[in-house]
Amino acid sequence: HAGLKPELTIEENLDQKDEDVLLWERGHLDASELAWGKPVVCGHTPRPDPINREKLILIDTGCVYHMKPGMGRLTAVHLPEREFIDVPYSD
């Protein structure tokens, strides 16, 4: 949901079974390198647009924050094409 520690592989992150990392980790957003062997899709950090990097795909476009400018979409990603699909917030 949130992410993984950038300096550990995906397997190492999962082996630690650290719920706090899976819920709250955001170090991957500013990391210059990610030790992950493949792309990871995550959210929990709203941005106006999805992030599409080699090993990081962030799809949280702030649907819950629909009152803020640039936010208010629910975004998904179609893999392996990395095609982003979004719909606007609706009551």
pTM recorded for the entire structure: 0.87
Map tokens 């706090």 to a residue.
20
Q: How far apart are CA 31 and CA 44, in angstroms?
A: 17
Per-residue pLDDT of the chain (91 residues; tens, 9 = 90+): 788 999 999 999 999 998 888 888 898 999 999 999 999 999 989 999 999 999 999 999 999 999 999 999 999 999 999 999 999 999 8
Residue 56 three-state SS? strand
Predicted pLDDT of residue 53 = 95
Number of domains in the chain: 1
Predicted pLDDT of residue 4 = 93
1 lies in a domain?
Answer: no
Domain span at residue 27 reads 10-88
72 lies in a domain?
Answer: yes
Q: How far apart are CA 23 and CA 77, in angstroms?
A: 20
